[in-house]
Amino acid sequence: MDVIVVLEWAFDAVLGLGLLWLAWRTLNSPDLFKAIVLFISFGLLMALAWVRLNAPDIALAEAAIGAGLTGALLLAALARLRTTTDNTMPAQLPAGSWFQRGLLIVLLSGSAAGLGYAVWILPSHTSGLSMAVTANLDVSGARNPVTAVLLNFRGYDTMLEMIVLLLAVLGIWSLGGLPPRPERPAVAVLDTFSRFLIPVFILAAAYLLWVGADAPGGAFQAGSVLGAAGVLLLLSGWRPGVRLMQWPLRLALTIGAITFIILGVLTLLYEQQLLAYPVAQAGRMIILLESLATVSIAVTLAILFLGESPDPEEKK
Amino acid sequence: MEAILANADWGVIVILLPLTGGIVCFLWPAVSKTAGLITVAAVVLAVAGLGRQIMEHGAYRHTVGGWGAPLGIDLFADGLSLFMLIMTALVGLGISCYAKSYFNPRDAVWFWPVWLFLLAALNALFLAADIFNLYVTLELTGLAAVTLTALTGRIDALSSAMRYLLAMLAGSLAYLLGVALLYHDSGSVDIATLAQRIEPNATVWAALGLMSAGLALKTALFPLSFWLPPAHASAPAPVSALLSALVVKASFYILLRLWLELFADFAEGVSTLLGLLGAAAILWGSLQALRQTRIKLLVAYSTVAQIGYLFLVYPLASASSGLAAGIAAYLAFSHALAKSAMFLAAGNLMRFGGHDRIADLDRAVQRLPLTVSAFALAGVSIMGLPPSGGFTGKWLLLDAAMSQGRWDLAAVMIIGGLLAAGYIFKVLGYAFMQAKEPHDARAVPAGMEWAALLLAVGSILLGLMASEIFALIHPDLVANAGGAVERVWTA
């Protein structure tokens, strides 16, 4: 038994040191490509750390979004940067004087020490709201406490988060989007590979969505897997048609938020409280919200990767 | 009909209305201008409905999802929240009327949905009673503000928007870390529950430091104001007005709320520090404004200085905190009206002359009398001359400083007023003069001139309505709620 405890301790120590080392290397790397690869590895290790902290929901999200899609977005941005600028090296920041550096080091290590102490004296285990969540789980419509919090107890926060995603797309489109990716003939391997993988992605997303009610999973995880399928399709040369890029795309991007708002208005009218689901209907409403939110999240992530504005003639 | 209006849940409606409006604008870009204006006007009416309910029944509380804090999220509005909502709705309406004529059709398609989401985020922020929900609304506000800053797509706008984004993210993350520490320490994110459980220990102090630093960065308190002048100066005029008038007030409101409810009892040293930084902001911002050669940068640095006045309430709050918070809210409102009018007037001058160089204003006063009047009237409030809102707010602040023997703060306020007079008369002086090389002027739509003038007149009227407004923010209003609301805003 003792051996296992020591092993776990050693594993955690290696994980923690590895995270710090990767973070430092990422920030320190002069080569942007290398920095992105290091960032992706950082995300994967971070997902492992969440597993060690017994937070499998966050681990899934971190692996899919933190490492996977963010990595893909960064690589796509780097590829576009290389086509528009010839220098791949970031400009060297002017090094401050010794006094400035010393002051910065003193201030930062002081704050770090203070924060470290504050975390050190935290009680090692507090129940927080988990008692209240467990007590109300039966009437929440979900058996996974994370889903119950995200979609029911704090569904209002999730509604606002859907708008955050929409704003990200609006922000990119408002700048005129990126120039269209140069058409490349599909590589045979990628093409065949995608044909096999995409159905698997869709199946995995559906499973994650469905299982989210009882176990780790849910709209954000399912949406990011589905979004990754979209990225794969885009990489293998598929482009949504012009007609698809108009209102069907806009509807898909907003359908999650629209569902939240409609349910909000209905519950306000019939229950006098925003997003207060009747107990008998709660499970069905959560599944409805999650399914449509999955669509919005997946389309948002894929569209962020595409980066093109829907109206090419409106380019600035 | 009367019963429906009296019983409708206006607090939820002021959040859902602009959210719906924003989505409509996104789905049907062709109608975005009309839908946007209708939504903003409807929000003004909904805020009026909420105001009537609060006046009659006391503080507003809504338990989202029916769970109730601390498990669920509560919405809460007392006199202070209501006052901020009124500020957002009225200033937002003025700026929307201006934006109707300002944007070309291509930019308008993006401006309206993002502005409506920003409005929803601000309303949700002023109604939040939960520190994590505040974080979500703060993120939404920041993201919408950055998107609007970059709207023109010009290089200077893009680089200052990028800097703005990084500053916003750093501020949000510091705030979020503070939320995590407070939740672990006290087991709740509901402000009322936290207020009962909080006890000063190292964790709470760390949370206080992180949240205050993050929010001070977002409010652009000197010396964390480095991002504000380029961002506010390079954005389109209506956006600069929104950023300066409303967005910086949002993070200031959160800081004020946290202090009133959680931190005021044990953190007097930090309030002294905030006051000192505020005083430094007044002097530094005003001197920088005086040095500028472009109107928009001048107005942006003036914002840095005027934010300093808001932070002077912290050291003065210990003796009479209810009143001090009222003064801060009142100053924020009068600054919002005056500064939006100034930025809109600056936008008119740019449209008119094609530039915003102060030295080349070229008899603007004859050719654009309404705009220059708007700038001058707003200037009266910024300088703190009677009978404007700026005068009443600063007078009350000065009175509080003198009665507490804080002659140093009083002196800074007076010097700040003199410096403000210096930079405003600098602009007005050039508006009367003829430029060396006269240039052609472009027409400015009348709606844009009137919108700026009306906001400026509002900043003067605010001074005449001071007693009604202080009755509105007064803590007694909240106490009327009786047993229904335990949390009474007296702090």
| Dist CA A59 CA A51 (whole Å) | 6
Band of residue B318 on the pLDDT scale cut at 50, 70, 90 = low
Query: Who's near A57: CB < 8 A, 6+ residues apart?
Result: A144, A146, A216, A217, A218, A221
Which candidate from A127, A152, A254 shows the least CB-CB separation from B65? A152
Does residue B443 belong to the interface with chain A, where contact is any CB pair within 8 Å? no
| Whether pLDDT at A297 is above 80 | yes
Nearest to A160 among B113, B137, B147 (CB): B137
Q: Is A195 exposed, middle or buried (0-12, 13-18, 19+ CB in 10 A)?
A: exposed
CA distance B89 to B97: 12
Q: Is the pLDDT of residue B480 over 50?
A: no
Nearest chain B CA: its distance from A207 CA (Å): 27
A85 Cβ contact list (under 8 Å, min separation 6)? none
**Centroid of chain to Cα B353:** 29
Q: Judge whether residue B478 has pLDDT over 50.
A: no
Instruction: Give first-to-last CA distance, chain A, whole Å.
Output: 66
Contact (CB<8Å) B72/A127: no
Please give the average per-residue pLDDT across A109-113, as a whole number. Answer: 91
Confidence of residue A185 (pLDDT cuts 50, 70, 90): low
Least confidently predicted of A161-170, B248-257, B258-267, B455-464: B258-267
Q: Which of A27, A175, A303, A314 to mutate to test the interface with B (most CBs of B within 10 A)?
A: A175
Structure tokens at B130: 């939960």
Residues B252-268 have a mean pLDDT of: 86
Supply the mean pLDDT for chain B.
88
Residue A286: name the closest of A257, A253, A263 by CA.
Answer: A263
**Inter-chain touch A276–B65, beta carbons under 8 Å:** yes
**Closest Cα in chain B, distance from residue A258 (Å):** 8
Q: How far apart are CA A283 and CA A287, in angstroms?
A: 6
* CA closest to B13 among chain A residues: A265
Closest CA to B64 of B2, B139, B136: B136
Q: With 50 as the cut, is the pLDDT of residue B489 above it?
A: no
| Dist. CA B219–CA B229, nearest whole Å | 12
| ipTM of the complex model | 0.92
Q: Check whether A315 has a pLDDT greater than 70.
A: no
pLDDT at A234: 87
Instruction: Single out the residue of A194, A189, A226, A193 nearest to residue A207, CA to CA.
Output: A226
Q: Specify the higher pLDDT residue, A61 or B25.
A: B25
pLDDT in tens, A209-253: 998 888 888 888 899 999 999 988 888 878 777 777 778 899 999
Higher pLDDT, A272 or B113: B113
CB B337 within 8 A of CB B246: no
3-state secondary structure of B282: helix
Residues in chain A within 8 Å Cβ distance of B143: 164, 167-168, 171
CA distance B71 to B327: 34
pLDDT above 70 (res B487): no
Residue B479: per-residue pLDDT: 35
Which pLDDT score is estimated for A86? Answer: 57
| pLDDT, average across residues B303-321 | 84
Contacts of A115 in chain B (CB under 8 A): 177, 206, 210
The dihedral region occupied by A217, where left means phi > 0, alpha psi between -120 and 50, and beta the remainder, is left
Rounded to a whole number of angstroms, the CA Rg of chain B reads 21
Q: Which residue has the higher pLDDT, B160 or B356?
A: B160
Chain A residues touching residue B133 (CB < 8 angstroms): 154, 156-157
B55 and chain A in contact, CB less than 8 A: no
> How does residue A137 score in pLDDT terms, banded at 50, 70 and 90?
confident
**Closest to B400 measured CA to CA, from B386, B387, B413, B384:** B413
Residues of chain B neighbouring A254 (CB-CB closer than 8 A):
23, 26-27
Substitution target in B7, B12, B20 with the highest count of A β-carbons within 10 Å is B12
Q: Is the confidence at residue A279, as pLDDT, over 90?
A: no
- B201 chain-A contacts, CB cut-off 8 A: 121
pLDDT tens, residue by residue, B6-57: 778 999 999 999 999 999 999 999 999 999 999 999 999 999 999 989 888 8
| Model confidence band, residue B174 (pLDDT cutoffs 50, 70, 90) | very high
Q: Is B179 on the interface with A (CB under 8 A)?
A: no
Question: For chain B, what percent of residues have pLDDT higher than 70?
Answer: 95
Cβ contacts from A onto B, under 8 A: 150
B22 at interface of A, judged by CB pairs closer than 8 A: yes
| Chain A touched by B155 (CB under 8 Å) | no
Predicted local confidence at residue B319, as pLDDT: 53
Please list, in sequence order, all residues whose beta carbon lies within 8 angstroms of the beta carbon of residue B394, skipping any fewer than 6 positions away: B309, B331, B384, B413, B417
**pLDDT above 70 for A1:** no
- Closest listed residue to residue B187, CA positions, set B202, B173, B203: B203
β partners of residue B130: B190
Give residue B484's pLDDT band: very low, low, confident or very high (50, 70, 90): very low
Written as one letter, the residue type at B16 is L
pLDDT digits (tens, 9 = 90+) for A257-267: 999 999 999 99
Of B23, B72, B73, the CB nearest to A254: B23
CB contact under 8 A, B65 and A275: yes
- Answer yes or no: do B114 and A170 touch at CB < 8 A: yes
- Residue found by looking up tokens 């023997």 in the block: B405
Q: What are the tens digits of pLDDT across the range B357-376?
A: 888 887 888 888 899 999 99
Residue B315's pLDDT is what? 86
The 10s digit of each residue's pLDDT in B59-118 is 899 999 888 878 999 999 988 899 999 999 999 999 999 999 999 888 899 999 999 999
Question: What is the model's pLDDT at position A311?
Answer: 63
Which 8-state DSSP code applies to residue B62?
Answer: E
pLDDT of residue A65: 85
- With H, G, I as helix, E, B as strand and everything else as coil, classify residue B224: coil
Predicted pLDDT of residue A180? 67
Tell me how far apart the alpha carbons of residues A176 and B420 are, in angstroms, rounded to a whole number.
Answer: 39
Number of H helices, E strands in chain A: 12, 0
Answer whether A227's CB lies under 8 Å from A69's CB.
yes
Q: Which residues of A touch B139 (CB under 8 A)?
A: 164
- B117 and A167 in contact by Cβ < 8 A? yes
B72 in Cβ contact with A148 (< 8 Å): no
For B55-91, letters b (16+ CB in 10 Å) and e give: eeebbbbbbbbbbebbbbbbbbbbbbbbbbbbbbbbb
Nearest to A57 by CA among A287, A198, A214: A214
Q: How far apart are CA A283 and CA B413, in angstroms?
A: 59
Contact list in B for residue A129 (CB cut-off 8 A) is 70-71, 187-188
| Cα–Cα distance measured from residue B16 to residue B39, given in angstroms and rounded to the nearest whole number | 10
Q: Is B73 helix (H, G, I), strand (E, B) or coil?
A: strand
**Chain A CB contacts of B203 below 8 Å:** 118-119, 121-122
B173/A contact by beta carbon, under 8 A: no
Contact of B224 with chain A, judged by CB distance below 8 Å, is answered with no
Q: How far apart are CA A218 and CA A212, in angstroms?
A: 4
Cβ pair A274, A152 in contact under 8 A: no
3-state SS class at A172: helix
Identify which of B113, B137, B181 has the shortest CB distance to residue A170. B113
Q: Do A275 and B71 touch (CB under 8 A)?
A: no
CA–CA distance, B236 with B357 (Å, rounded to integer):
16
Examine the pLDDT at B486 and tell me if it is beyond 50.
no
Determine the longest span between alpha carbons in chain B, in angstroms. Answer: 70
pLDDT (mean) for B289-300? 93
Pick from B261, B104, B84, B298: nearest CA to B182 = B261
Arithmetic mean of pLDDT, A264-291: 90
Alpha helices, H only, B58-197: 79-102, 105-127, 131-149, 155-186, 191-197
**Which secondary structure element, helix H or strand E, spans residue B63, and what is its range?**
strand B60-64
Q: Which two tokens stand for residue A269?
A: 């009218």
Confidence of residue B296 (pLDDT cuts 50, 70, 90): very high
Determine, for residues B184 and A173 on separate chains, whether the beta-carbon distance falls below 8 Å. Answer: no
